[in-house]
Structure 1
Amino acid sequence: MPYKDEQLHEEKVFKDPVHRYVHVNDRVIWDLIATPEFQRLRRIKQLGTTYLTFHGAEHSRFNHSLGVYEIVRRIITNFEDSPRWDASERLLCLCAALLHDLGHGPFSHSFEKVFKLDHEHFTQQIILGDTQVHRILERVEPGFSQKVADVIDKTYEDQLVVSLISSQIDADRMDYLQRDAYFTGVSYGHFDMERILRVMRPLEDQVVIKSSGMHAVEDYIMSRYQMYWQVYFHPVTRSAEVILSKILHRAKYLYEQDYVFKLKPIHFISFFNESVGLRDYLKLDEAVVTYYFQLWQEEDDPILCDLCERFVNRRLFKYIEFNPNQQMNEWMELHRLFQEVGIDPDYYLEVDSSSDLPYDFYRPGEEEERLPIHLLMPNGSLMELSRNSDIVESISGKKRTDHKLYYPADMLQKLPAEQPAKKRIAELLHLDLRR
Structure 2
Amino acid sequence: MAYRDEQLNEEKVFKDPVHRYVHVRDKVIWDLIGTPEFQRLRRIKQLGTSFFTFHGAEHSRFNHSLGVYEIIRRIVENFRGHADWNDEERLLCLSAALLHDLGHGPFSHSFEKVFNLDHEDYTRDIILGDTAVNRILQRVGDDFPQKVADVIGKTYANKLVISLISSQIDADRMDYLQRDAYFTGVSYGHFDMERILRVMRPLDDQVVIKASGMHAVEDYIMSRYQMYWQVYFHPVTRSSEVILSKILHRAMHLYKGDYQFTLEPHHFVSFFDENPSLEDYLKLDESVVMYYFQIWKDEKDPILSDLCNRFVNRHLFKYIEFNPNHQFGQWMELHKLFTEAGIDPDYYLEVDSSSDLPYDFYRPGEDEERLPIHLMMQNGDLKELSRQSEIVEAISGKKRTDHKLYYAADFIEGLSDDSEIKKRILEILEG
- Given the two structures, how large is their TM-score scaled by the length of structure 2? 0.99
In structure 1, the partner of 2:412 is 412
Aligned match of 2:143: 143
Runs of 5+ unmatched residues, structure 2: none
- Residue type of the alignment partner of 2:325: N
Match of 1:102 in 2: 102
Match runs of 1:244-393 below 5 Å: 244-366=244-366, 370-393=370-393
Q: How does 1:178-257 map to 2 (within 5 A)?
A: 178-257=178-257
Question: Following TM superposition, by how much is the alpha carbon of 1:419 offset from its aligned partner in structure 2, in angstroms?
Answer: 2.2
Alignment CA distance shift 1:367-1:311 (3 Å): same
Residue 74 of structure 1: aligned partner: 74
Distance 1:367 1:325, change over 3 A: farther
SS in 2 for 1:319: strand
Residues 1:123 and 2:113 are matched in the alignment: no
Contact 1:362 1:369 in 2 (8 A): no
Q: Distance in 1 between the 2:369 and 2:44 partners?
A: 29
Q: Within 1, Cα distance between the matches of 2:363 and 2:269?
A: 42
Q: Distance in 2 between matches of 1:367 and 1:257?
A: 41
SS across alignment from 1:342: coil
Tell me by how many angstroms 1:429 deviates: 0.7
Once residues 367 and 291 of structure 1 are traced to their aligned partners in structure 2, the CA distance between those partners, rounded to angstroms, is: 39
**Runs of 4+ with >2 A deviation:** 366-369
- Structure 2: how far apart are the matches of 1:205 and 1:178? 27
| Superposed displacement of residue 285, structure 1 | 0.1
Counterparts of 1:45 and 1:332, CA distance in 2:
36
List per-residue Cα deviations over 1:299-328 (Å, max 9, x = no partner): 000000000000000000000000000000
1:84 is displaced (CA, Å) by: 1.1
Name the aligned partner's letter for residue 80 of structure 1.
R
Paired residue secondary structure (1:23):
strand
Contact 1:357/1:400 (<8 A) preserved: yes
Residues 46-84 of structure 1, C-alpha deviations (whole Å, 9 max, x = no match): 000000000000000000000000000000000012111
CA distance in 2, matches of 1:364, 1:286: 40
Query: Matched residues in 1 for 2:367 and 2:7: separation?
Result: 42
Query: For 1:416 and 1:403, how far apart are their aligned partners in 2?
Result: 30
Equivalents in 1 of 2:253, 2:362: separation in Å? Answer: 43
C-alpha deviation, 1:276, in angstroms:
0.9
Residues in 2 aligned to 1:366 and 1:28: alpha-carbon distance in whole angstroms: 35
User: Does the alignment pair 1:19 with 2:33?
Assistant: no
* Alpha-carbon distance between aligned partners in 1 of 2:369 and 2:419, rounded to the nearest angstrom: 52
Q: Does the Cα contact within 8 Å between 1:178 and 1:190 map onto a contact in 2?
A: yes
Q: CA offsets per residue over residues 135-163 of structure 1, 9 Å max, x none?
A: 00000011100000000000000010000
Q: Is the 8 A contact 2:52 2:240 kept in 1?
A: yes
Is the contact made by 2:167 and 2:368 (CA closer than 8 Å) also made in structure 1?
no
TM superposition shift of 1:336:
0.1
Structure 1 residues 180-204: Cα deviation after superposition (integer angstroms, max 9, x where no partner): 0000000000000000000000012
Q: Which residue number in structure 2 is paired with residue 93 of structure 1?
A: 93
Contact 1:44–1:105 under 8 Å retained in 2: yes
Q: Give ranges in structure 1 of 5+ residues lacking alignment.
A: none
The residue identity in structure 1 corresponding to 2:50 is T
Identical aligned residues as a percent: 78
Q: Distance in 1 between matches of 2:111 and 2:179?
A: 22
Corresponding residue for 1:167?
167
Q: Give distance in 2, aligned partners of 1:86 and 1:235.
A: 45
User: Which residue is equivalent to 1:83?
Assistant: 83
TM-aligned CA distance change 1:353 to 1:368, over 3 Å: farther
Question: How far, CA to CA, are the matches of 2:38 and 2:357 in structure 1?
Answer: 31
Q: Aligned partner of 2:178: which letter?
A: Q
Query: Following the alignment from structure 1 to structure 2, what is the Cα–Cα distance between the partners of residues 34 and 187?
Result: 33
How many residues align? The count is 431
The root-mean-square deviation of aligned C-alpha atoms, in Å, is 0.8
Q: What letter is aligned with 2:47? A: L
Separation in structure 2 between the aligned mates of residue 335 and residue 91 of structure 1, nearest angstrom = 55
SS at match of 1:392: helix
Task: State whether residues 363 and 369 of structure 1, in contact with CA within 8 Å, keep that contact through their aligned partners in structure 2.
Answer: no
Q: Distance in 2 between matches of 1:288 and 1:316?
A: 21
Q: Distance in 1 between matches of 2:248 and 2:368?
A: 28
Does the 8 Å CA contact 2:168/2:369 hold for their aligned counterparts? no
Structure 1 distance, partners of 2:12, 2:377, is 39
**Deviates most, 185-194 or 76-85:** 76-85
- Counterpart residue type for residue 31 of structure 1: D
Q: Is the 8 A contact 1:65 1:100 kept in 2?
A: yes
Distance in 2, matches of 1:87 and 1:182, equals 33
Deviation, 1:381, is 1.0
294-303 or 422-431, larger mean C-alpha shift: 422-431
Name 2:56's counterpart in structure 1: 56
1:99, 1:321 → 2: CA distance?
A: 38
Counterpart AA for 1:62? F
Retained in 1: the 8 A contact 2:167–2:369? no
Contact 1:240 1:311 (C-alpha < 8 Å) held by counterparts: yes
Kindly provide the amino acid, as one letter, of the partner of residue 252 in structure 1: M
What is the SS of the residue equivalent to 1:12? Answer: strand
